[in-house]
Amino acid sequence: MSELVLVLDFGGQYKELIAGTVRGLSVYSEIKPGNITVDEILQLKPIGIILTGGPNSVYLPDSPKCDPKIFSLGIPILGICYGMHLMCHTLGGKVASGDKGEYGRVTVTPKNASKLFGSRKESFTALMSHKDCVKRLPKGFRETAKTSVCTAACEDKAKKLYAVQFHPETKHTKGGKKIIRRFLYDICGASGNYKLDDYIKTQIKQIQKKVGNENVLLALSGGVDSSVCAGLLSKAIPGQLACIFVDHGLMRLNEGDEIERVFSKEKLSFIRVNAKDRFLAKLSGVADPETKRKIIGEEFIRVFEEEAAKLGNIPYLAQGTIYPDVVESGGKHGAVIKSHHNVGGLPEGLDFTAVVEPLSRLFKDEVRVMGKKLGLPSSIVYRQPFPGPGLAIRVIGEVTEEKLNLLRKADAILREELDRIKNRPDQYFCVLTNTRSVGVKGDDRTYDYVIAVRAVKTDDFMTCEYAPLPHKLLDRISSRITAEIPSVSRVVYDITSKPPATVEWE
C-alpha cells in the first residue's frame, strides 16, 4: 500500500499540479475537497496534508474553510498561498488585504532555518499571486522567509505546520520542487514507495477479477487516454476487448491510418468505421462552432450505437477517464463517455453491466509513462492534444473536404518543423481562417486562404503563453506552407496568451 499525501482543494487552479508534483516525487497523492471531515482524513491515514491556494479572502464569512481540528492531528501540513492564510487565520493569526499585491515572479529571502529550505540562505525567485497577506502570525509560529511586502513562509515546527505564500509547485519558483520534496521526505518521513509499475500490476489484477471471461467495449479515439486504456486492457484481458474507432474524417494527416496500424497489432478486436461522408453531410452549410460541436457529438453517438449493436451483448464499457476528470466531476464519473474522447454520452440503447476505468487514478503525465511501459509508440503516447470535434473547429466557418485537406497539409508542415527543435512548445497547430488575402505567386495575383499558426507554452492548459518561436523558424514554416499549398497566400502567427484568448480558436 502506497503512502498517501492528501491535497485539500480550496479552489486553486494548481491543485492538480501540486498532486502531480507529489506523485512525480514517488509519493502517492489524492485531491479531496477542503471541507473533508477529520474522520474521513483519519480513515485515509495520510502521512501529510497540503492545503491549496484559492481565489477567496479567508477573512470573509463565505470563504471556504477546513475543519480546525486538522491542525491538531499531528499530521504534517503544508499550506500554500490561500492554504497559508487559512492556517494562520484559523489558528489565531491575522490575515488582511496588503498595501499592494504581488503577482508574477517575486524575490523571496529565507530568514530563519527551516526544514523546508534546508541550508538555503540565498534569495530566490518565486511565483506569487496574492493581494491578502499574513499581518500577524499565530502563537507558536515564526517567520522563515519574507519578501519586501509580506511574510513569504512561516512554521510551527513543534506542531509540524508549515506554510508558504508563494507557489512551489510551479516551474516559475526556483527550487520549488525541492521545497516540496523536503516537506515529503524530511518532514512527513515519506519512503517514496509509489511506483507506476506497481500500479500497472495492480490494475491488471483488478481488471481480470472484475471482468472475468466477459468481453469489454471501448470507444477508441486514438488520443492518449483511450489509447493507453486499450493497451492496458489488451494486456490484462487479451482477446476480450473490442475497440470501435469512429473515423469522422476530421483527423490530422494520416492519423486514422496510424491508429489502425498500431492497434491492429494488439490482442484486441479493432473496428474502424469510416464515417467521413456522414459527418461532412451533417456539417454542410454550418459555420457556428457550437452547432458544429453538437452535430459531431450527436452523430458520433449514432455511429457508435449502430456499431456496438452489431457486436451483441457486451457487459462492460471501458473508458479512458483520468484523474483530473474525476476531480472536476466531483468523483461522479462513469455515467457518460468522456466528451473529449467520445463527444457525447452513453448511448441509451446499450445495456452495460459496469464501467471499467483503469486510468481513473492517474494524471496525464503518468498515463504517458504508462503508455511507454506498455510498448505503445511515441507518436501515440506523445500525441499533440486534439479536440474531440477534430479539425472541424480549426476550420473557421463551414467545413468542407477541400478545406480539411488544405488544413491537414499545413498542420503536417508545422508539426514536422517543430518536431525537429529541442525546446518544443507544449501545443502547436494550424487554423484555417475564414479570410482570403491578396497575394502574388509568379506573375499572377492570387486571392487565397490565410493560415494562422498557434503555438503555446503551458503547465496546465488552463492558462498559457504564446511560444516565442525564432523568426527564422517562422519564416521557414511560412515559406513551406505558401510554397507547398497553392491555395494559401498568407501565414500569420497568433501571439495571444490565455487569457484573454483560449488555446483553440473555436
DSSP assignment string, 296-329? HHHHHHHHHHHHHHHT----EEE----HHHHHHT
DSSP bridge partners of 464: 498
Phi, psi of 238 (to 5 degrees): -55, 130
Q: Which of 169, 266, 299, 357 is catalytic?
A: 169
504 C-beta neighbours (distance < 10 Å), count: 16
Q: Give CATH 3.40.50.620 domain extents, the chain.
A: 196-381
CATH class of segment(s) 4-187: alpha beta
Instruction: State residue 442's pLDDT score.
Output: 66
Mean pLDDT for 319-334 is: 69
Instruction: State residue 339's pLDDT score.
Output: 39
DSSP assignment string, 384-439? PP--TTGGGGTB-SS--HHHHHHHHHHHHHHHHHHTTSSS--SEEEEEEEEEEEEE
Q: Which of 167, 248, 333, 341 is catalytic?
A: 167
**At what angle are helices 276-283 and 289-310 packed, to 10 degrees?**
150
Return the C-alpha cell found at 223.
488520443
DSSP bridge partners of 51: 8, 79
Q: Give CATH 3.40.50.880 domain extents, the chain.
A: 4-187
Q: Is the predicted pLDDT of residue 341 greater than 50, yes or no?
A: no
Summarised one tens digit per residue, pLDDT across range 346-389 is 445 567 788 899 999 998 889 999 999 999 999 899 888 888 89
Summarised one tens digit per residue, pLDDT across range 176-228 is 999 999 999 999 999 999 999 999 999 999 999 999 999 999 999 888 999 99
C-alpha separations of 157 from 67, 91, 311, 427 in Å = 20, 14, 62, 43
Confirm whether 89 is a catalytic residue: no
Q: Give CATH 3.30.300.10 domain extents, the chain.
A: 400-493
CATH class of segment(s) 400-493: alpha beta
Q: Which of 66, 81, 229, 243 is catalytic?
A: 81
Mean pLDDT for 271-293 is: 96
**At what angle are helices 196-211 and 224-236 packed, to 10 degrees?**
60
Of 46-55, 238-247, 357-366, 460-469, where does mean pLDDT reach its minimum? 460-469
Instruction: State residue 388's pLDDT score.
Output: 85
Instruction: State residue 112's pLDDT score.
Output: 87
Summarised one tens digit per residue, pLDDT across range 431-455 is 999 998 888 776 677 779 999 999 9
> Which among 182, 316, 299 is positioned nearest to 241, based on CA atoms?
316
Confirm whether 333 is a catalytic residue: no
Summarised one tens digit per residue, pLDDT across range 49-84 is 999 999 999 999 999 999 999 999 999 999 999 999
Considering the entire predicted model, what is its pTM?
Answer: 0.80
CATH class of segment(s) 196-381: alpha beta
Return the C-alpha cell found at 203.
490494475
Q: Write down the residue that cell numbers 476528470 correspond to.
A: 325
Confirm whether 416 is a catalytic residue: no
The whole-chain average pLDDT of the chain stands at 90
Q: Is the predicted pLDDT of residue 424 greater than 60, yes or no?
A: yes
Summarised one tens digit per residue, pLDDT across range 6-27 is 999 999 888 988 999 999 999 9
Strand-strand pairing, 316-318 and 354-356? parallel
Contact between residue 268 and residue 234 where contact means Cβ atoms under 8 Å apart: yes
